[in-house]
Amino acid sequence: MDHADFMIALRTDLGPVLGDVGLWSLNTLLQDAKDTGDKDAKRKLTAAIDIIENYLEHGLEVLS
């Protein structure tokens, strides 16, 4: 597997992995962090959710 193959796989697989499944799991973790009062985890999870939502809206270029 070379870099070109890796980029094709990334473009093909990143959306579904980070999209529905990733957002669901991060939102579940965020709710747990809110319930336990973990402000640091809440901040990190919110940032990750924002990055993924931005990626899904604007595509791979936003990650560069």
Domain spans, the chain: 12-63
pLDDT of residue 63: 64
Q: What are the mean pLDDT values of the chain's consecutive 10-residue runs (64 residues total)?
A: 80 74 92 97 94 80 66
pLDDT of residue 18: 67
Question: What whole-number distance in Å separates Cα of residue 17 and Cα of residue 29?
Answer: 16
Dmax over CA atoms of the chain, in Å, equals 44
pTM confidence score: 0.68
Does residue 21 contact residue 52 with C-beta atoms inside 8 Å? no
pLDDT of residue 11: 75
pLDDT of residue 25: 92
pLDDT of residue 34: 97
Question: What whole-number distance in Å separates Cα of residue 50 and Cα of residue 52?
Answer: 6
